[in-house]
Amino acid sequence: MISNGIEIATSALIAHKYAMDVIGNNIANVNTPGYSRESIVLQTTDPTIIPVISNNKPMASLGSGVKVSQIQRIRNEFLDTEKQNLSTTSGEWSQTSQNLGIVESTFNEPSSTGISAGLNSYWNAWQSVASPDPSSSAARTTLVSQGQLLANQLSTTRKGLTDLQTSNDKDIVAKVQTINDLADQIATLNGQIVKSQASGDANNLLDKRTQLVGQLAGLVNIDYYQDATGSATIGIGGGFLVSNIDVAHIQAKPDSMNKNFNNVVWADSGKSVSITGGELFGLIQSRDVKVQSYIDGLDSLAKSLMSQVNAVHQAGFGLKGETGLNFFVGTNASDMTVNAELVYDPSKIAASGQNVNMSGNGDTAAAIANIRTKASLNSGSTSINDFYQNLISKMGTATSEAKTKVDMNTAMMTQVDTQIASVSGVSIDEEMSNMIKFEHAYGAAAKYIATVQRTLDDLMAVLK
């Protein structure tokens, strides 16, 4: 029965050696992203039955040692789901905020170089033509330059916005590729996890998958289920992206109805993917709705400016009686420019309201300068300057809202991350105290072997 003692001690040494290995692994991965700490679960081995002298029981069970029953992955799945949802919202708003930030710097208001300053200089240039001397070629030349500058500011700003749309579109293509890559990796992991779960623990594979699903959730709105075998199913807006080891890819397809920008469709059926969240949604929204609304705003401004100035200008007279000329030519903010005839010969600018004795008449110029305050847009409630200010104000409010959302999401994300770390993160203090515990147990077991050995030695001495 003495060998029993050695068995017990050996099992203790082995189990505690494993326990310290788990601690070692935890400490090694203290800074590994997505790592869930592991804890060893010890269990008694099956007892041996020994005969005893007792009144009612002939046998007793004697403990036979300890064994490792499981190496457990400490994880709270609820928090993972929470984080996935937050990632989806956060992904959307971070893209929105980034894009609106670019829109804001494209408009560059308030500044001495923005459209607002350009508009003011343009109206003032008309005032300077109107008085004191409408025939002054210096005032007329300045007016042409200010007109060109304004047209240029409008077209440059619009170009900045369309460039942003194009860059969003390129990002969408890249994100679609990333989503497909992630789906492929998750499907492969699904296969490995199911296999590993059957024979043992798949802790590190699960960690890896949780991380990939987290990344995917940041990109697009997903529905996530995990079945009893450990396999994960991922859907986007009702369609299956990953189901066990099968993947349905999505695809970016140029849409001729939408300026050949890419639409996201299912590769097999060609139907649109219903995207309602994540970075991909943020990018699509920004490209098709948000940035587009500022482009539309600039175009309305440019069109209204051109039509109003031209209408008054056509009715006026140049220094030699020229009439019926447009001041601006173009169709919208992108191609608006000052009429080349006026650039070539500013004396043709129709500053006068009459075609006889017109050299000192600045009535038309004054009328154009007053378009500044004329409520002509939004069915006669807003002037051109107000319209632009409202556009900028709207943009500022939207940008500020997006920033607040991002801040809020970041704070909530930090909180969930803290909660996850609180459950799954490695605490060095805890590991150290466990190490001391296991080290002592290991030492005690070793000491027990020495005792057993001494007992055996005593026995051997008797037998000699």
Partner 1 sequence: MRITNNIVADQVLVGMQDNLAQVSDLQIQLSSGKKFQKVSDNPVDMARVMRLQDQMNKDTQYATNLDNLTPCLSTTDSTLSNLVTAMQSIQQLTKQYQNSAVQSSNNTLMSTNMDTLLGNVIDLANQSYNGRYIFGGNNTATKPFQLLADGRIKYSGTDDVLKAQVTDTETIDLSVNGNDLFSTHSVLGNQGMGSSTSKIAGLTSNTFSIKVGADTAVNISVGTGTSDVTLQGVADAINNSGVQAHAYIKDSPQGARLKIVSDYVGKDGQLVLSDGAAGGVLEHLGLIDNTGAIVGPQTDTSAGLMDTMVSLSKTMKAGGDITAQAADINTAYQNVLKYQGRVAILTQNADNRKSMMTDMSIKRQDLMSSIWDVDMVKATSDLSRETAAYQASIQAGAKIIMPTLLDYI
Here the tokens at position 363 are: 């009535």
CB of 138 to partner 1, least distance (A): 12
DSSP annotation string for 125-136: HHHHHHSS-TT-
Site for partner 1 in 333-352 (CB under 8 A): 352
Size of the site for partner 1 (CB under 8 A): 59
The answer to whether 448 and 455 have CB atoms below 8 angstroms apart is no
Q: Count Cβ atoms below 10 Å from residue 103 Cβ, excluding itself.
A: 22
Alpha carbon distance 163, 123 (integer Å):
29
Question: Cβ contacts of residue 53 below 8 Å, gap of 6+?
Answer: none
- 32 belongs to the binding site for partner 1 (CB under 8 A): no
Alpha-carbon distance 87 to 220, whole Å? 9
Interaction between residue 253 and partner 1 (CB under 8 A): no
What is the closest distance, in whole angstroms, from the C-beta atom of residue 189 to partner 1 in the complex? Answer: 25
72: β partners: 39
Q: Does 418 bind partner 1 (CB under 8 A)?
A: yes
459 near partner 1 (CB under 8 A): no
Comparison of 356 and 461: residue with beta carbon closer to partner 1 = 356
Write the DSSP symbol of residue 377.
Answer: B
Please give the single-letter amino acid code of residue 14: I
421 lies in the binding site for partner 1 (CB under 8 A):
yes
Contact of 52 with 58, CB cutoff 8 Å? yes
Q: Which CB atom, from 200 or from 380, has the smaller least distance to partner 1? A: 380
**Shortest distance (Å) from residue 274 CB to partner 1:** 31
Q: Which of residues 273-332 bind partner 1 (CB under 8 A)?
A: none
Nearer to partner 1, 135 or 272 (CB): 135
Q: Does 396 bind partner 1 (CB under 8 A)?
A: yes
Q: Is 395 a binder of partner 1 (CB under 8 A)?
A: yes
How big is the chain by its Cα radius of gyration, in Å? 39
Check binding of 380 to partner 1 (CB under 8 A).
no
Cβ atoms 325, 342 nearer than 8 A = yes
Query: Which residue, 115 or 187, is less far from partner 1 as judged by CB?
Result: 115
- For residue 240 the two structure tokens come to 């299956």
Q: What is the smallest separation between the CB atom of 314 and partner 1, expressed in angstroms?
A: 15
Comparing CB distances to partner 1, the nearer of 137 and 260 is 137
Please report how close the Cβ of residue 33 comes to partner 1 at its closest, in angstroms.
10
> Of 110-149, which residues contact partner 1 (CB under 8 A)?
110, 116, 120, 123-124, 127-128, 130-133, 135
- The whole-angstrom separation of Cα 262 and Cα 255 is 6
Closest to 310 measured CA to CA, from 356, 347, 342: 342
Minimum CB separation from partner 1 for residue 18, in Å? 21
Q: Which residues contact 99 (CB under 8 A, 6 or more apart)?
A: 164, 168, 282, 283, 286, 290, 291
Is position 237 an interface residue for partner 1 (rule: CB under 8 A)? no
Name the one range near partner 1 by CB under 8 A: 81-89, 211-219, 291-299, 382-390. Answer: 382-390
Contact call for residues 409 and 93 (beta carbons, < 8 A):
yes
Closest among 195, 90, 115, 174 to 182, alpha carbons compared: 174
Distance CA 84, CA 211 (A): 10
Tell the smallest beta-carbon distance from residue 173 to partner 1 (Å).
Answer: 29
Nearer to partner 1 by C-beta: 181 or 417?
417
Which residues in this chain contact partner 1 in the complex, by CB under 8 A? 30-31, 100-101, 104, 107, 109-110, 116, 120, 123-124, 127-128, 130-133, 135, 352, 354, 356-361, 366, 369-370, 372-373, 385, 389-390, 392-393, 395-397, 399-400, 403, 414, 417-419, 421-423, 425-430, 432-433, 436
